[in-house]
Amino acid sequence: MQKNKNCNVVLLGTGNVAWHLGHAMLKSQISLIQVYGRNKTQLTALANEWHVPFTDNLNCLSPEADIYLFALKDGAYQEICSVFPFRNACMAHTSGNVDNSVFQSLTRHGGVIYPFQTFTKGFPLAFHEVPLCIDTNDPECEEKLLFLAGKLSRIFCKISSIQRKQLHLSGVFACNFTNALYTLAQKIAEEKELDFNLLRPLIAETARKVQTHFPEEMQTGPAIRNDTGIINNHIELLKDPQLKELYHILTECIIKNAKNKS
């Protein structure tokens, strides 16, 4: 793919990831030539918002795409591959977990462009700050995906399939479980009628600190000070046995990590 050439993309999917990818493409020099989706309501809404041709019929897919970019639910790939109308096109999915060989019955040019971020539809973010991780064994697909990635974000890299799955796992800890802790913190606070607004600056600062430092340098709280008095008070305050257990495990993780460091 020549450096100055445009890149035509057909986007398949209408969910969170598709919403963000589509927006990012419209803002970049990438031509989003068509959107495909099975959910007619979502498809029409997206296509109208973007002013882009759309279809819910795979047989009406444009044959002109440089890349067919899939942002579907992980379970949907087998079915769609069995009826996809083109052979040997460049096809890429966006999942952290689906195998990069999922398109191999259809094309030699399959791969993955994995945007490593948490996406919520209607919640815009700076897409040029989203790391795009490319996982493919095909040089032609790799070239196209690197071109696409470079237009969409300033952070992109090649990774192996093993790395991609591990990255997905680490993201569950950094994002999904972190958000679960925010929810628990909110519930603990609200039990005594404390507003979640009191917690927001603390949450923001905790995430801000690790943008320039490593989290183990930034650890604060009773566990890192090994303050057993406060730790025991806290475990007593918690009523739910599952929360007590969670408090125990995370406290032990902090203590163990501090020991390994020293």
CB of 102 to a second copy, least distance (A): 14
CB of 35 to a second copy, least distance (A): 22
Task: Please give the structure tokens belonging to residue 45.
Answer: 């809404």
Beta bridge partners of 253: none
**DSSP-derived pairing of the beta strands 132-136 and 110-115:** antiparallel
Residue in the block written with tokens 């404390």: 194
CB of 239 to a second copy, least distance (A): 12
Give the nearer residue to a second copy in terms of CB position, either 58 or 218.
218
Give the nearer residue to a second copy in terms of CB position, either 60 or 207.
207
Q: Which residue spans within 67-189 are E strands per DSSP?
A: 67-70, 91-93, 110-115, 132-136, 156-158
Give the nearer residue to a second copy in terms of CB position, either 81 or 246.
246
Closest CA to 32 of 54, 17, 15, 16: 54
CB of 242 to a second copy, least distance (A): 6
- Whether the Cβ atoms of residue 153 and residue 131 lie closer than 8 Å to each other: yes
In which order are the strands placed within the sheet that holds 110-115?
54-55, 30-36, 7-12, 67-70, 91-93, 110-115, 132-136, 156-158
CB of 8 to a second copy, least distance (A): 28
CB of 193 to a second copy, least distance (A): 7
Closest CA to 126 of 9, 3, 28: 28
Mention every residue, 6+ apart, whose C-beta is less than 8 A from residue 120.
16
Residue in the block written with tokens 């296509």: 47
Give the nearer residue to a second copy in terms of CB position, either 58 or 246.
246
- Whether the Cβ atoms of residue 65 and residue 84 lie closer than 8 Å to each other: no
Give the nearer residue to a second copy in terms of CB position, either 49 or 227.
227
Give the nearer residue to a second copy in terms of CB position, either 26 or 199.
199
Task: Please give the structure tokens belonging to residue 179.
Answer: 């958000």
Give the nearer residue to a second copy in terms of CB position, either 60 or 249.
249
The number of residues making up the chain comes to 262
CB of 5 to a second copy, least distance (A): 28
